[in-house]
Structure 1
Amino acid sequence: MTALTHPLVEQADALIQLDRYDEARTLLGRRLAQDPADVDAWVRLAHCHLTAREFEEALTATGEALALAPETYEAHYIRTYALRRTGRPDEALAEAHETIRLDPQRWKGYAALSEALGAWQPRWPEALEPARTAVRLAPDSASAHYALWKAGLINGRSDVVRQAVADVLRIDPHDAWALNERASQAGWEASDPPLRGAGAKLPAAADAYATALAADPQDSGLRRDLDKAVFRMLRGTRWLAVLCLLMAAVAGRLFPTGDAPTALPAPLGIRLYALALMAAVWGFGAWRRYRKMRSGVRLSLWALVRQFGWARLILAQAAWVTLTAVVIVAVPWSERLVPQVLFWVALVPTLLTAWFERAAMRS
């Protein structure tokens, strides 16, 4: 804005900085009714339209601004994005080059050029260099790094994408978009087939979603993703219980393969050792992890258990299977029939439920 900017335009600009675009548009409409030749008002109105994805209206507003002042930098910049979104890539490219010509030292023109080049798949690799130039000219601008993120994304450059998100968070650790993107990356890694290391990555994904949700509590997509990550973590507790059941079967000698080594009852030392291992499995696999969760993840976990039937069933099965394992190990059985029945009654329904649950989740 110039020193002669009208007070209504200044107020509208302040509202734009607060993302209150509808109020800003009202003020700008009042100003343009007073003076249709106010270039600043047209440019800011175009910005409001662009943010609202009203691309034709943005083109109209920038057209009015450029008719009054053909070398208005911001108007060419906004017009590049509006033309790109209305399927006019050649014109968008020309506007981006004009923006750079007007001021080669400003990063916005290079970000606009990167955006325009993204309209043609064969030219996607070319979008990286102007985006890098934008970052080089404005290393502390989150928007410049966002432009590089987009260029990296369309080119499949995960390294560029990750670095761009990290740089935005360096500039603003509470940036909602960057936190959301980091959470999405963590969630993608945690669900990457064939789930390599998913058990270790899921808590990080849940923590990232909770952090992003704290920055943007109204984002229903983040809430849904957090619930999904927490649900998958809850499903993992059932497999801890199954592991305990298998250890109990071995320690309790439920399935004999010889004479002396499988004689009943199993020695007390072996049974106590098995109980200690079960405690370690739950201690390190669930309780320790739960204690390290941020409060948002813990609240989501208990909300999921209260509201979702599958979550309650998983928790109940994990408790039942673990209790069965403890009974099999703790009791000095002199015959195998009863502990074997307990073993299969605990194991088979759990496996069947897991299979039906997976099918239900896919549908």
Structure 2
Amino acid sequence: MEETQDDPGGAFVWGEAERRAALGDVAYLRELGARLSDQYQDATERARTYAHQLGHVIRVLALTPGRQSLVELMRLVDEKRRPSHPRELASLLAEHQRPADLAATVFGRPGAGTADELAPCLFHELLLRSADMQGIPQPRSSHTLAWLPARLLDFEAGAAFPHRTVNGSAGGSGTAMPAEGRLDPPVPRTTERSALRNTATVEVHESIVSAPQAGDWGHFDAWVFRLDEDLDPVLVPALLPALPMPCTEVGPTGRFEVALSPLGEVWRLLFATASMGGVYGGGVGGAYGRMWAWRSMAGLAGAPAGAGAEEAERLARETTWFRFEADSEWFHNEIGCDFGIAALSPDHRRLAVLAATDTD
């Protein structure tokens, strides 16, 4: 096969394929395609290697404390438009660098313009860690994360984060039922299903499942039930197993655990679900983990479409929250990989449910 020198690969000249085809030399075309395929695979593997090596260098710079390493990292980020994952970088920086150094080098750099995604993410990563926010500017009003409160609320305190080193990371947050506030319904339970029907719209459903969807959990679903009269919160544990949801079909004696839960516990579960992800998901990091935890919380609490964070917070504080788990076939029933949340609205006329499950 005659080689050409039209490109660095030495195997392709524009128009040559058409000329050979016209001459009937289809064997040449097959050989050319095979060679290009091999070159493409080699280039892809090299690009993957370079990306891995570049990621390692960025990680080392981010995890090396000190202003000088930050200066060099930001030069690399701004000059080469790398990395392509600012959310992950923001999380690394918040974990290993001093807020004062970040204020000077990340937020105060010339490259921190309107197109910058690193600064807004880093703001919320630091906020969630109760960092000293002096000199740390809030995200611009047009940014998605600007919807979130610019202060850390009491129920957000104590959020869990992964712990990263140069060579890897470890983290995760279990979903085990709390020991306190338990209200497990007695057995045997009735097998009769409630006549209530799911009224969740597509928009409400998407809001409620925001956290497990962002965290790439294996399976999740949401339901909303409208009640004809006020429901006393003490009756919720008995009602949950009877609701027409596949995640609660456990029979009269199957395990069904329910606990009254503080808002902070529910929010931290939603945050871990989104920020650290499921078994095979890496999560979306702290900043967007906060965003999607709030979206799920707002949907469960019944916040109307377009509501601001202040309205979502008010409703969430007035909502009665429950956690539950069940040995239904819908759940995988693996430790740390199942959870259910139920939210009774302030007027006691709406019961919203989120369930999620994952497995390896």
Please report the TM-score for the alignment, with normalisation by the length of structure 1: 0.28
From the CA coordinates, give the structure whose radius of gyration is larger.
1
Q: Kindly indicate which of the two structures has a greater share of residues assigned to helix.
A: 1
Higher strand share: 2
